[in-house]
Structure 1
Amino acid sequence: MKKAVMSAVLLLGMMATGAEAATRVYVTLSRSETFIDGIRNSLTAEDARDSDVELTIDLANNDRATQQRQVDEAIKAKYDAIIILSVDNEAGQHAFDAAKKAGVPLVFVNTPPPIADVRGKVSIVACNDIVAGRLQMRLLSGAMNNAGNVVVIRGTDGHAASDDRSSGIKEILATRPNVKLAAEASAHWSRDEAEQLVLGWLDQGIQIDAIAANSDEMALGAVTALRKRGIPAGKVFVGGTDGTANGLNGVKSGDLSVTLLQNTGSMAKAALNSAKTMATGGYAQQYEWVPYEILLPTTVDRYATAQAK
């Protein structure tokens, strides 16, 4: 994804006029899936608009060792800054330690590191996932009139977003005595795994009134399971998180009761800006919180239009 290399003549001309070289930023993203692809596409679009940045983007294919190697090689290649959406906490810790030792600015996007003290050339650009879990469960509980059974579909355990969203859900459940947690399990961010989980719970005879999923893809997998068992849209309240295009369509069709939008464009722009700022000796906010936005059937059309633009 690197920009075209300049011709030797143009490069020499720039050197002669004292023009500065572009800031080289390396990006490693945990994997390819709907939401993360949105971040990748937004980063690529920002890169195309900013001639002062040269961006390289790689995927770690959800493999910790691969991502750790990518970070080490980027440092060795003397990139000016690194952006990471980490595979897991261990990959995030490795990136933090390696970048700090090398003095390379590091930006965590979407997934904060498992580190309390992030002083130094580090910036975290993310949404507050505990808040997402709280918002989702409040809305689902309200749809249930604060009574009934809910099941929770977690992302990958040990992943910061999954852990925090699930914690937020349970905080609200603790304040709703008539809403019972009937079952919970990890579907590893997979639509297919979520479908199989819900099919299994239904086949066990578990009464489900609402489903709180840590991502839109898992929420939509749950919807498929409900349909396969003849349960119509709206009978079970299903909530997702991320506000992907698929999630927007799910809310619009009535399959999802709610999703929570993480604005990938805002996140990518803030991450690239922080990386560039630190790489050129400036100060970036340690925590750049991008607010979640609630998408309901009454508001989803506005967001779908904005997304299309």
Structure 2
Amino acid sequence: MTKQPGHPRHLPFAAVAFAAVLAAGGCAKSEDDAASEGTAGAQAQQQVAQSPAGTAGSTCTLKQFGGAAFDLKSSVVGFSQSEKEANPFRIAETKSIKDEAARLGISKLRVTNAQSQFSKQITDVQQLIAQGARLLVIAPLNSDGWEPVLRQAAAKKIPIITVDRKINASACRDYLTFIGSDFYQQGVRAADQMIKVLGGKGKVAILLGAPGNNVTTDRTNGFKDRMKEKAPGIRISFEQTAEFTREKGQQVTEQLVQSNPDINGVYAENDEMALGAVTALKGAGKKPGEVKIVSIDGTRGAVRSIVDGWLQAVIESNPRFGPLAFETARKFTAGEPIPEKVLISDREYTTANAKGSLGQAY
């Protein structure tokens, strides 16, 4: 688990990685949440970059990129959100970007939302470029298909920072850097938790995320590779995409319990699908913990479900990118080297810590 500092600290920027702890925006709380969180809920969990060993690759400077320095406060900055903000991850992510821009005095922040339509996201970003954006922060819906945007941005020397999902292109040439989690390791850690709660034996189903992006691919491969390596007694007997949505998670799990009534565990590649699975299991007459569920994200609803016994573990994927994204941009415009990827450290929620950690979930 990542140690949570009490306040932001800013350390020198290394050529291969951030070693900074940056304050991040919180997430709106319901009255019920606020009542249960206490003092811990007053501060959102901060993103922490991994050590240099966890952030490998080449670096990029403003001179190498070919652009000119610009003042963030007086420049148009574009943020492209990919998905409908019904998902707590997306709500917290957008809020973090907006909050940090406001804190820094960036008055020309332009925010778009593609509503889970990739063609709209491409159009959104092209419009941001046409509006004179000097910096683009993009949460990509898909990893492929960005060539039109990349060509236009490169022609105007606009740095692009991608957050939470990668795009299949070349850092420093096509875009500046990626900031996010190690998705493969998230899958590995989810497998470790599933092995633990099942005692190394049983049948497991996978609720796959949306196809066409690296998050789904890496979370799947990490989980399967770890299972092959560490748990020959666990068999993956079912896998189907539920597209990272709660509704599809419920629908797929309803099919699952009919076709595999003896399933022992469900690995959901995000919390929304896991919570949909909980609804389906309740409808099928299952009791809390009868089917072990492990997921990835760290939403408050999922962590609360651990407390209630429906989930057994959640691997965090921290969405509060605002401070780290804008600190990256500031250092880049100051001429400092930026790594091609900045990997953040994510904690785990389990039955041992979930109740006391509700205030750090989003």
Tell me the TM-score normalised to structure 1 length.
0.87
Say if 1:144 and 1:214 are closer, same or farther in 2 by CA, change over 3 A: same
- Is residue 242 of structure 2 the alignment partner of residue 187 of structure 1? yes
Following the alignment from structure 1 to structure 2, what is the Cα–Cα distance between the partners of residues 302 and 54?
Answer: 39
Whether the 8 Å CA contact 1:125–1:287 is kept in 2: the answer is: yes
Say if 1:191 and 1:110 are closer, same or farther in 2 by CA, change over 3 A: same
Deviation at 1:52, TM superposition (A): 4.3
Q: 2:348 — aligned with what?
A: 294
Following the alignment from structure 1 to structure 2, what is the Cα–Cα distance between the partners of residues 21 and 279?
Answer: 12
Whether the 8 Å CA contact 1:152–1:211 is kept in 2: the answer is: yes
CA deviations on 1:64-109 (whole Å, 9 max, x unpaired) are: 1111111212222221100101111234454434322321010000
The alignment partner of 1:235 has SS state of coil
Say if 1:279 and 1:67 are closer, same or farther in 2 by CA, change over 3 A: farther
Deviation at 1:236, TM superposition (A): 1.0
Percent identity of equivalent pairs: 19
Say if 1:131 and 1:97 are closer, same or farther in 2 by CA, change over 3 A: farther
- Is residue 172 of structure 2 the alignment partner of residue 119 of structure 1? yes
Following the alignment from structure 2 to structure 1, what is the Cα–Cα distance between the partners of residues 327 and 141?
Answer: 22
Say if 1:281 and 1:66 are closer, same or farther in 2 by CA, change over 3 A: farther
CA deviations on 1:163-222 (whole Å, 9 max, x unpaired) are: 111111111121221110110000011111111111112112442111000100101111
- Is residue 81 of structure 2 the alignment partner of residue 26 of structure 1? no
Q: 1:102 — aligned with what?
A: 156
Unaligned segments of structure 2, at least 5 residues: 1-70
- Aligned ranges 1:205-216 → 2 under 5 Å: 205-216=260-271
- Is residue 93 of structure 2 the alignment partner of residue 39 of structure 1? yes
Tell me the TM-score normalised to structure 2 length.
0.75
- Larger RCO (CA under 8 A, 6+ residues apart): 2
Deviation at 1:303, TM superposition (A): 2.8
How many residues in Structure 1 have an aligned counterpart in Structure 2? 288
Following the alignment from structure 1 to structure 2, what is the Cα–Cα distance between the partners of residues 67 and 279?
Answer: 26
Say if 1:196 and 1:292 are closer, same or farther in 2 by CA, change over 3 A: same
Following the alignment from structure 1 to structure 2, what is the Cα–Cα distance between the partners of residues 20 and 259?
Answer: 36
Whether the 8 Å CA contact 2:144–2:213 is kept in 1: the answer is: no
Unaligned segments of structure 1, at least 5 residues: 1-18
- Is residue 312 of structure 2 the alignment partner of residue 269 of structure 1? no
Q: 1:143 — aligned with what?
A: 197
Q: 1:252 — aligned with what?
A: 307
Following the alignment from structure 1 to structure 2, what is the Cα–Cα distance between the partners of residues 194 and 236?
Answer: 15
- Is residue 194 of structure 2 the alignment partner of residue 134 of structure 1? no
Q: Give the number of the structure whose alpha-carbon radius of gyration is greater.
A: 1
